[in-house]
Structure 1
Amino acid sequence: MSSSTPSTALPLAGKKGLVTGIANDKSIAYAVAKAIVELGGEIAITYQNDKTARYTQPLAEALGAKRFLKLDVAEEGCLENVIAECGAAFGEIDFAIHSMAFCNADDLHGRVIDATEAGFDAAMNVSCHSFLRMAKALEPLMAHGGSLITMSYLGAERVVRNYGVMGIIKAALESAVRYMAYDLGPKGIRVFAVSPGPIMTRAASGIANFNNLLESDAQKAPLGRTVTIEEVGALTAFLCTSGSSGMTGQTIYVDGGAHIVA
């Protein structure tokens, strides 16, 4: 009797994409990349500079990344070159994860009206506009549709103490998701923002009194706890699968339900 092909394949088998923003194995982006690989996806991973590469290259190798590429979105043409390299490696791209944010400490912790023009521009460029640029560069490589996913936070919708200008930037990012979903929908390209609850990552360590924020969210969340990077990774990977084919333009919370409680 001849062998037969299994009736069910991994949800992302044969799918290829780009994951940005991994800093270490505690990063949300790392959990996303791991979840995608576990579902059968092939990935390219980026690093910001030689210093961060020391921590991220072993992770990229462990995940079997097909490309490990330097990406500094503040460097002219760098993002576009990275995507061109991914296109050369993969042909078509099925998904991309934008997990990048930056804000000067003074602008993050201070009053928003005191933010400098240069600081505001830098935060907007790295944290929001780079997602638009990513989509534009990827559009020709997503001839059969795909998923574009960025990372947001509740500070986009409500005032979160010590989040400052980044709350404004994340609000712009979530608005961009909706407009991008409208523009790219006819091509089958779906766009999402994932909004995790507070998680102790390297980026979160720059927010003043972050431990208090963790405790507060755990107390008010209907699930009675904060979430893990693995839970965020699982949801994000799902958005790359055909199971989410009827969805686009949403900000999806992964925070134990804390966002519904005042």
Structure 2
Amino acid sequence: MRLTLRTAATAVRPAHLARGSASECNAHYRRQVERGKRHLLVCADRPTGLGHDSDAPAASGGVGQAGAAVDSIDDMRVLLRGLPLDGITATVLTGLPGAALLASLWCLVAQERTGGGRCRLEVALRPPECGGQPGPTADGYGAPLSALLGAVCTPAGVRVRAASPAELAAPCGPAPASSGAIAAAQAERLAKLRAWRCEDRVDRALAALRVSAADPGNRRTRDALGDALAAGASFGEVSGVLRTAWGGAHRASAAGGAGRGD
């Protein structure tokens, strides 16, 4: 599947973008909804947008600094907690490597909360020069990422487009804590996730994703991605499996995570 990216004609212009932990960003979004806002611009931090775990060396200095830090389905549940998902729409601003994972997680949590239905979401992709991806895509890495994004978004009714200039220029609000403090809190959350989840379930789900990833635009790959994330696999673990399956072209730039992924 080939995605056609269009810039939104009407830009979303928030007062500022929320950044920090999922809990801190959720508080910002809930205040916006309480004030009558019905469309939210949700920005992922750079590590999330590139598919890194917050405790990976590659994430150093960027955790929670330009958006929300999301490492797993637990973080997405916190990010969306208390929001009327059947009464609002949202745009997620992210890089290409993390886009399919974020869309899949959002739809998984929305289905948990609302009992099904179409996901009231669109994805706005940052360009490479704005931190949208870890490097050139001429080696073929961008093609499977786009195919996977289409496989996740099209059946769910999630629109994919290029981020508008206004969205890219939207200022970030004051960070609730330093990057080091946010990263430490995220590392603690990841440690608890890895300790509490069912490792056999995660291993089986990641193995199924590894097999199906050869055809990233296939429904089976979309379902395997959702199963892995629902089982508690982290962004870095899922991204690591995909990079390996697709030839590891960007393994060097993405290296440095705990466990199975980066």
The alignment's TM-score, normalised by the length of structure 1, stands at: 0.33
Task: Specify which structure has the higher proportion of strand.
Answer: 1
The alignment's TM-score, normalised by the length of structure 2, stands at: 0.33
Look at both structures and tell me which one has the larger radius of gyration over its CA atoms: 1
Compare relative contact order (CA 8 Å, sep 6+) and give the higher one, 1 or 2: 2
